[in-house]
């Protein structure tokens, strides 16, 4: 990544995670605290309010509507993958529940 000890330790799990989730979620990296222009552009594009926090390195995801969720879990491939895909899985489960409720409601209306 960039030579920082914490970043170097994360490089292998991060790359493994990117290979696993590629195509399902967009993974980006390398915005430094000093790169305020890049961070400002990212926030403008997504309607978000990302800030580089004290984590080494700061890991976050931008959900629909610009909501930012920072990562505070273990820096392992499995934990990173689970966290990265959590947004997709939660969204699909919610849609399934809503769809099931609509079907049940239609059945009641037909009776």
Domains of the chain, CATH where assigned: 5-110 (3.40.30)
Give the DSSP per-residue string, the chain.
--S-HHHHHHHHHHHHHHHHHBTTB-------TT-HHHHHHHHHHHT------SSSS--EEE-GGG-EEE--S--SHHHHHHHHHHHHHHHHHHHHHHHHHHHHHHHHHH-
Asked if residue 60 lies in contact with residue 71, where contact means CB atoms within 8 angstroms, the answer is yes
pTM over cut 0.85 = no
The pLDDT, as a whole number, for residue 1 is 46
pLDDT tens-digit profile of 65-109? 888 888 888 999 999 999 989 854 444 555 566 667 777 777 777
Q: Give the tokens for residue 15.
A: 């790359």
**Between 15 and 111, whose confidence is greater?**
15
pLDDT tens-digit profile of 20-76? 998 888 777 766 666 778 788 888 888 888 887 766 788 888 888 888 888 888 999
Q: What is the mean pLDDT of residues 2-23?
A: 86
Q: Residue 32: CA atoms inside 13 Å, Cβ hemisphere, count?
A: 7
């Amino acid at each position: 990544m960039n030579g920082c000890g914490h970043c170097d330790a994360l490089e292998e799990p991060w790359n493994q995670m990117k290979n696993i989730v590629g195509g399902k979620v967009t993974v980006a990296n390398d915005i430094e605290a000093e790169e305020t222009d890049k961070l400002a552009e990212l926030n403008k594009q997504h309607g978000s309010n990302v800030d580089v926090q004290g984590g080494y390195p700061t890991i976050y995801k931008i959900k629909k509507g610009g909501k930012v969720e920072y990562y505070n879990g273990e820096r392992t491939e499995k934990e990173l993958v689970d966290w990265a895909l959590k947004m997709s899985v939660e969204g699909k489960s919610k849609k399934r529940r809503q769809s099931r409720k609509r079907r049940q409601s239609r059945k009641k209306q037909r009776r």
